[in-house]
Amino acid sequence: MANAPPSSAKRATSRAAASHSSLPLVSAVDQVDTSYLQTLLGYNARRAALTIIEGFLERMAEFGLRPVDFSVMSVIQHNPGVTSRQLCAALNLLPPNLVGLVQSLEARGLIHRQPHPTDGRAVGLHPTPEGAALMQKAEQAAADLEVDRSARLTAAQRKTLLELLQKIYL
């Protein structure tokens, strides 16, 4: 690692806690030091993603959309006629895991399928008026969440963070 901060775990021996004078065989940990893990991109990205998703789950429960549901609906909304395979490639999903998800969205009346205009194997996914209306509300809620989530970031910092994250996975 390039810049590991000095280890700073504060430990309290049992001698400090116990009132007698016997020397402790083992020490107890007072404050847990995670400074090493905090130097790793993977650890920080994962912790940040889970924190954000936690808030997302609560806020989107109202719409019955989990993170992947939201992503799929959003891509269909902005790309009407997209196929399952295209969705999988764009969102890094596996085809078998998308099947039930799409069936669920269709059963809820949020999307409908139409034959692909040129490929008889493929099926185009389109938002229904209900699905489009739901997504408009959901995307507004997501925008609100972004504001809350980046309360400790300036607009410039938020933009920088998005750009740097995209350098990692794109």
Site for DNA in 95-154 (CB under 7 A): 95-99, 102-103, 116, 119-123
Query: Applying CB under 8 A, which part among 8-16, 93-101, 102-110 lies near its own copies?
Result: 8-16
Considering the rule CB under 8 A, would residue 128 count as an interface residue with its own copies?
no
Q: How far is the CB of 139 from its own copies (least distance, A)?
A: 7
Closer to DNA by Cβ: residue 97 or 160: 97
Q: Which of 64, 75, 68 is nearest to 53 (CA)?
A: 68
User: Least distance to DNA from the beta carbon of 104, Å?
Assistant: 10
Distance CA 3, CA 143 (A): 35
- Which DSSP string corresponds to the chain? ---PPPP--EEEEHHHHSSS-PPPSSEEEEE---TTGGG-HHHHHHHHHHHHHHHHHHHHGGGT--HHHHHHHHHHHHSTTB-HHHHHHHHT--HHHHHHHHHHHHHTTSEEEEE-SS-TT-EEEEE-HHHHHHHHHHHHHHHHHHHHHTTTS-HHHHHHHHHHHHHHH-
> Least distance from C-beta 82 to DNA, angstroms?
9
Residue 26 lies near its own copies (rule: CB under 8 A): yes
Binding-site partner at residue 95 among its own copies, DNA, none, CB < 5 to 8 Å by type:
DNA
According to CB under 8 A, which one of 63, 66, 79, 102 is a site residue for its own copies?
Answer: 79
Q: Output the six-digit token pair for 72.
A: 């799929």
Q: Which does 96 bind (CB under 5 to 8 A by kind): its own copies, DNA, none?
A: DNA
Does 61 bind its own copies (CB under 8 A)? Our answer is no
Task: Give me the least distance between CB of 128 and its own copies, in Å please.
Answer: 14
Binding site for DNA (CB under 7 A): 66-68, 83-86, 94-99, 102-103, 116, 119-123
